[in-house]
Amino acid sequence: MLLRPGKRLRYLTTRAVAPIGAVTSKRTFFFGARLRTDVPLFGRGDESLFVDDVELVGPGVDQAASPDSAWRPLGTMPHDDVYLLDSSLVLGYCNDEIPGWKAFVNDHVQMGKRFYLLPQAAAIASEHAVELPDGFVRAKFDDGAHEMSQVERDAVREEVIRTLDIQGTRRARFRVSIDLLVEACHFVAAADPSQLSADDVHYNRVVFASSNLASIKRLVGCRAKADLVQRALSKHALGTMTRVRHVSARQSWNDFCRLPSVIYPRCY
């Protein structure tokens, strides 16, 4: 496989010659440029359903290491979608750290739209002494529903960690990202109708957005991972996982593992 200018590194799929356990199935591969005209990208790594430690080095990384070819300019991101934000995009807006994001947010708010902050995202913004701008509002739950308790959140997080076999220091590294994804799915199932309508859910307009690509890839970077996370969420009656969108500092965006549209049950 050659990585030439304009080409991107895609996920590699292999088939085992005999039935083996997914956790013990591991492929080690090497890659590198062979011609001067190829992208100067070199590295090695282990890749499996659960392990995705791939080191990419060289000046071609930003050009070639995108997860797929579906990246679109940030200015084309739909304003009709309903956005649930994690803390990375809140802080990215307030500190103007993501090129093009502030302009998109300002246009969105001028149209009378809102961005909804999940409880943990709002708490993290508060810890950083960030004053939320107009258009950023805290997610509200329907009458009779409630925010997830710490016990509930811990139980779902541990289910996801166990399902994806996240080991060692990664458990702490991905803790907040897992909690935010879980909160997003809980909010979709139990949102105040004034913020999230049944049509928004049915027509798949709800998006959980983040600028944290490493966490997105670890949790839902391919269909197999997304299906496993969905299975873990279903065990805790959290319905179908919402769309996950990466907002890139390269002024582009991409959706990961979009799941079918579905009417979510309300929690009472």
**How confident is the model over 205-264, as pLDDT tens digits?**
999 999 999 889 888 888 888 888 888 888 888 877 889 999 999 999 999 865 543 333
- Alpha carbons within 13 A on the beta-carbon side of 212: 22
Interatomic CA distance for residues 232 and 89, integer angstroms: 26
Instruction: Note the pLDDT of residue 140.
Output: 87
Residue 99 pLDDT greater than 80, yes or no = yes
1 has pLDDT over 60: no
Indicate the SS3 state at residue 200. helix
Q: pLDDT > 70: what percent of the chain?
A: 68
Quick one: which of 182, 159, 185, 181 has its CA closest to 171? 159
Query: What integer is the mean pLDDT of 93-104?
Result: 92
pLDDT band for position 130 (cuts 50, 70, 90) = confident
Average pLDDT across the chain, whole number: 74
- Domain segments of the chain: what residues? 1-65, 72-256
Token pair, residue 22, equals: 């997914």
pLDDT category of residue 107 using cuts at 50, 70 and 90: very high
Residue 128 or 210, more confident: 210
8-14 contact pairs (CB < 8 A, 24+) = 8/64, 8/65, 8/66, 8/68, 8/69, 9/41, 9/56, 9/64, 9/65, 9/66, 10/67, 10/68, 10/69, 11/67, 11/68, 11/221, 11/222, 12/47
Indicate the range of 31-40, 107-116, 219-228 predicted with least confidence: 31-40
State residue 257's pLDDT score.
62
Minimum mean pLDDT among 4-13, 68-77, 88-97, 147-156: which range? 4-13
The answer on pLDDT for 53 being more than 60 is no
Least confident of 122-126, 165-169, 224-228, 260-264: 260-264
C-alpha span between 141 and 116 (Å, rounded): 12
The CA angle 135-139-141, to the nearest 5 degrees, is 145
Q: When comparing pLDDT for 129 and 38, which is higher?
A: 129
Half-sphere exposure of 16 (CA within 13 A, CB side): 12
Residue 250 has a CB neighbour count (10 Å cut-off) of 15
DSSP letter (8 states) at residue 265 = P
Mean pLDDT for 30-40 is 43
- Residue 141 has which token pair? 């739950």
Tell me the pTM: 0.68
> Which residue type is seen at 14?
T
